[in-house]
Chains A and B, each alone.
Chain A
């Protein structure tokens, strides 16, 4: 019997604004400890919050990208608890009036994962435990976060992965965060319960501390099995927070006092109520780039395969570049360039994200048109592109007028005849059943023509001649 998996995700995303949410300290990552701080984010007595407008802009962009309603009046609340990484002993967050509500992400299957809310809040500092001491670095304190909370609409591990990948994709495209789980700019908590079909929802457990998608999948799988086993064996399950253990893929209960706390939420008296009017939202909407789903649609309409389109839209800069190139160039050929030579030259994910290539999109478009018009063949294009990527020089440096002239049919036929005559072994091998021997003959034609011959045409001619 299958058991229902019911899951909701709470995702914390670090916004890539220049300054923190409640003070003007830089959000820059990787600085020396306690150097990006000021009396405000240190929680010094007498300090007050100073809300950063960019956090609203970014949160609204995220909300628009995720089909949310943007709320007209927002405010901040205090979530009170004590922990060494929380200087004020409360986190300023949005409890009663979040900035966005009622959005969704549509999965490829058409199913919508509903987003209950998106709210702004501040991050806590970083703790390092070592040698019986706890070291506190407040640099990360007050870095702006948005928390995105779904309804428990997710019914499988695959759906969870797809939701998260689409979330990352959208947020990267609107450039509000780099959404890197490994670096902590995206953190996901899983809320999961299991029940027999037709029966009421099971006990919920919350899983924290997964810093990659695959760890999240492992954690969900483990937790699902644990719940199923408990239900089967009539063992009780408690509503609790659990930590994912990377070492063995298991989850274990967190004995955290924070769980038991009543956060005593109340409106933060140090910040006013804030009105977001339609103009504010419209001005932001105008600056929004095309969202990845829409971009993909335009690529598909141009005949690019879904698989290729997915790979291109995965990186915003790649998509931006590609979208410009296809305006004047051949889309299908351009996608082979992109996913072939160009991606080959950008080995790491990080390189693909920053997409620092020396070839302007105009050059690439022109190259694709040369190939489309048959002035050069695919192989020549590939070789040329490889050189262009290295040097940044124009295709004109590598392809001369004569190169583009191509080979007329009679010349091609005589080259094929030459190839056959000069390679009797290959001919015999082919006649004897070795299909691969044909390649050698085609290769000989290509060499004669210095790569200019159309390999497909040559192959056909050779086959005709041999027969």
Chain B
């Protein structure tokens, strides 16, 4: 069962807000999942704690050659607000 403290901690780190109804629902659902996966705690394994599907040599890394950059306008095109080439975020909205 997920504790309220853990839930709130996760919400803070996830930067998500939940109202009371949602909190109850999510805590219930999360607890189900946590219970379901907790079976992993019952097993001991001496396998490594790193999963390495691919290992390469440092010689295969990319050369230090300048590639194509994105034009400023295209980079900003998906942002709601931009100014003088910068992405902008108002630190506090009007009326707050």
Interface residues of A (CB under 8 A from B): 17-19, 23-26, 32-39, 42, 50-54, 56, 73, 75, 80, 82, 84, 96, 128-129, 132-138, 261-262, 264, 267, 272-277, 280
**A-contact 0/1 string along B51-90, CB 8 Å cutoff:** 1111111110111111111101001100000011111111
- Pick the contact of A26 from B50, B69, B75 — CB < 8 Å? B69
The 11 listed contacts between A and B (C-beta, < 8 Å) are A24-B62, A36-B69, A38-B69, A53-B64, A132-B91, A134-B89, A135-B86, A135-B88, A137-B87, A274-B61, A280-B57
Beyond A24-B65, A272-B53, list 18 extra A-B contacts (CB 8 Å).
A19-B65, A24-B68, A33-B85, A34-B85, A35-B69, A37-B75, A38-B67, A51-B62, A53-B58, A53-B59, A84-B89, A133-B88, A134-B90, A135-B86, A272-B55, A274-B55, A277-B57, A280-B59
Determine if B67 and A25 form an interchain contact, defined as CB atoms under 8 angstroms apart.
yes
User: Known contacts A17-B64, A51-B62, A261-B13; is A34 also within 8 Å of B50 by CB?
Assistant: no
Determine if B13 and A273 form an interchain contact, defined as CB atoms under 8 angstroms apart.
no
Determine if B65 and A18 form an interchain contact, defined as CB atoms under 8 angstroms apart.
yes
CA of A82 to CA of B15 in the docked complex: distance in angstroms? 9
Determine if A54 and B89 form an interchain contact, defined as CB atoms under 8 angstroms apart.
no
Q: Give the 5 A-B residue pairs with the shortest CB-CB distance, closest first.
A: A24-B67, A53-B61, A54-B64, A135-B86, A272-B54
CA of A17 to CA of B89 in the docked complex: distance in angstroms? 31
Cβ distance B47 to chain A, nearest Cβ, rounded Å: 15
Question: In the complex, which residue of chain B has the Cβ closest to the Cβ of A264?
Answer: B13
Question: In the complex, which residue of chain A has the Cβ closest to the Cβ of B14?
Answer: A82
Residues of B within 8 A of A133 (CB): 83, 88-91
Residues of B within 8 A of A24 (CB): 62, 65-68
Determine if B58 and A280 form an interchain contact, defined as CB atoms under 8 angstroms apart.
yes
Question: In the complex, which residue of chain A has the Cβ closest to the Cβ of B90?
Answer: A133
Residues of B within 8 A of A25 (CB): 66-67, 69
Determine if B50 and A267 form an interchain contact, defined as CB atoms under 8 angstroms apart.
yes
Cβ distance A360 to chain B, nearest Cβ, rounded Å: 31
Residues of A within 8 A of B62 (CB): 24, 50-53
CA of A52 to CA of B66 in the docked complex: distance in angstroms? 11
User: Known contacts A25-B69, A35-B72, A39-B70; is A56 also within 8 Å of B61 by CB?
Assistant: yes
Q: Does B92 contact A (CB under 8 A)?
A: yes
- Pick the contact of B66 from A18, A32, A39 — CB < 8 Å? A18
Determine if A33 and B86 form an interchain contact, defined as CB atoms under 8 angstroms apart.
yes
User: Known contacts A56-B61, A133-B90, A267-B50; is A33 also within 8 Å of B66 by CB?
Assistant: no
Residues of A within 8 A of B15 (CB): 82
Question: In the complex, which residue of chain B has the Cβ closest to the Cβ of A257?
Answer: B12
- Pick the contact of B85 from A23, A35, A274 — CB < 8 Å? A35
Determine if A132 and B55 form an interchain contact, defined as CB atoms under 8 angstroms apart.
no
Residues of B within 8 A of A32 (CB): 72, 85
